[in-house]
Amino acid sequence: MKSGVHPDYRPVVFRDSSTGDAFRTRSTVTSDRTIEWPDGRHYPVIDVETSSYSHPLWTGTARPVERGGQVEKFQRRYGARSRG
């Protein structure tokens, strides 16, 4: 691999702006702001609007979409056709 071509891959903290929860992972994204992590080290922090801490699918607050009755809706709209 050529040196100086690839971006720096380092630990970064992503923080959910709606819940305040944060997790550390590795990324190439950069930020001027830093946060002190429980290990005592400072890492760049990226604020995100939605993460697994606040997404309805992952928190269990998602409402199921009612999909039943599609056949009945079709039959009401177009009528049942007789064969024969």
Q: What is the pLDDT of residue 43?
A: 96
The residue among 50 and 13 whose pLDDT is bigger is 13
Q: What is the pLDDT of residue 61?
A: 76
Q: What is the pLDDT of residue 2?
A: 80
The residue among 40 and 7 whose pLDDT is bigger is 40
Q: What is the pLDDT of residue 67?
A: 67
Contact 14, 51 (CB under 8 A): yes
pLDDT in tens, 23-75: 999 999 999 999 999 999 999 999 998 888 887 776 777 776 666 677 788 88
Long-range contact list for 51-55, CB < 8 A, 24+ apart?
Answer: 51/14, 51/16, 51/19, 51/21, 51/23, 53/16, 53/19, 53/21, 54/16, 54/18, 54/19, 54/21
